[in-house]
Amino acid sequence: MGHHTAAASLSVVTLIVWAGLLAFAGAYALAAGCRKRRRWSGRRSVSWYVGLGLLGLAFAPPLAASAHHDLRAHMVQHLLVGMVAPLALVLAAPLTLALRTMPVRYARRIVAVLHSQALCWLIHPLSALVLNVGVLYALYLTPLYALSQQHIALHLMLHGHMFLAGFLFTSVIAGLDSGAPTARWSTRLAVLFVAIAAMQRLLSGCIAAGGRRAAGHDLAQIQAAAQLMYYGGDGPNLFLR
């Protein structure tokens, strides 16, 4: 893909993402404002807007353009999209706000769907672990990363998956939103430790060893990116503990 074509595509994507984030910000503000009898927590509202702001930053032109060819910028973007922003958004308890704002009959239907067998399997901590960490193994241990640098659509699909998987994993481990099934605390903690160990294994044993040099990055850049991910991911993980 040519440089100018990629830059133009990323600019369009940035505008679409920012428009979507503004829509979610407005929807949350509207829902929070509807709660007149019992005011919604201001801290949760701030957390929501911080999370949306971090997503907006992740797709801002300087970082988004650099992330397409610089592995260090890619890791910063991944931290924002897959870990830090999802944590802030989960702390805002959007599902709880939605269930408390909508009519009771609709809220009951949504809760029933969340407790269905298929959804219970999807939001189990182990399933969330595979969706969140498993794709990273596929990304960095196969030609998938190199392909994502050549095809903008695949690049964006991977970031979409990272966000959704990161949000799901964080939500399942934190267990803050009412209405959704919650696994036992010991199970969630055990899965969190497994996720941390799996990430450390991936970063120290594969990326830091230069496994992605074939994608066009030198060893120093790979090691710097691995360190960013290694230490940058500690904050959200420690918070979840």
% of the chain surpassing 70 pLDDT: 85
pLDDT attached to residue 207:
55
Examine the pLDDT at 215 and tell me if it is beyond 60.
Answer: no
Rounded CA gap, 182 and 125, in Å?
9
pLDDT attached to residue 214:
45
Residue 50: HSE in the Cβ half-sphere, 13 Å Cα cutoff: 14
List own/partner pairs for 230-236 with CB under 8 A and 24 or more apart.
230/199, 230/200, 230/203, 230/204, 232/75, 232/76, 232/79, 232/83, 233/79, 233/83, 233/199, 235/84, 236/83, 236/84, 236/87, 236/170
Examine the pLDDT at 1 and tell me if it is beyond 60.
Answer: no
184 or 152, greater pLDDT: 184
CB-CB contact of 122 with 187 (8 Å) = no
pLDDT attached to residue 20:
93
180 or 118, greater pLDDT: 118
pTM of the model: 0.87
pLDDT attached to residue 9:
65
CB-CB contact of 97 with 31 (8 Å) = yes
Q: List Cβ neighbours of 115 (8 Å cut-off, separation of 6 or more).
A: 181
- Confidence grade of residue 238 (pLDDT, cut at 50, 70, 90): low
pLDDT attached to residue 95:
92
pLDDT attached to residue 168:
93
Rounded CA gap, 59 and 74, in Å?
11
> Whole domain around residue 66: which residue ranges?
3-240
Examine the pLDDT at 240 and tell me if it is beyond 70.
Answer: no
Examine the pLDDT at 6 and tell me if it is beyond 80.
Answer: no
Q: Which of 101-115, 128-142, 168-182 has the lowest mean pLDDT?
A: 168-182
Mean pLDDT to the nearest integer, 113-142: 87
- Structurally, the chain folds into a number of domains equal to 1
Mean pLDDT of the chain: 83
Q: How far is CA 46 from CA 93, 114, 177, in A?
A: 11, 26, 16
% of the chain surpassing 90 pLDDT: 34
Q: Where are the alpha helices (DSSP H) in 124-207?
A: 125-129, 135-141, 144-150, 152-174, 185-202
CB-CB contact of 79 with 232 (8 Å) = yes
3-state helix, strand, coil in the chain (%, to 5): 80, 0, 20
Examine the pLDDT at 121 and tell me if it is beyond 80.
Answer: yes
- Confidence grade of residue 18 (pLDDT, cut at 50, 70, 90): very high
User: Is the Cα dihedral 143, 81, 241, 190 positive or negative?
Assistant: negative
For residue 17, the tally of other CB atoms under 10 A from its CB is 19
- Confidence grade of residue 26 (pLDDT, cut at 50, 70, 90): very high
Rounded CA gap, 51 and 92, in Å?
9
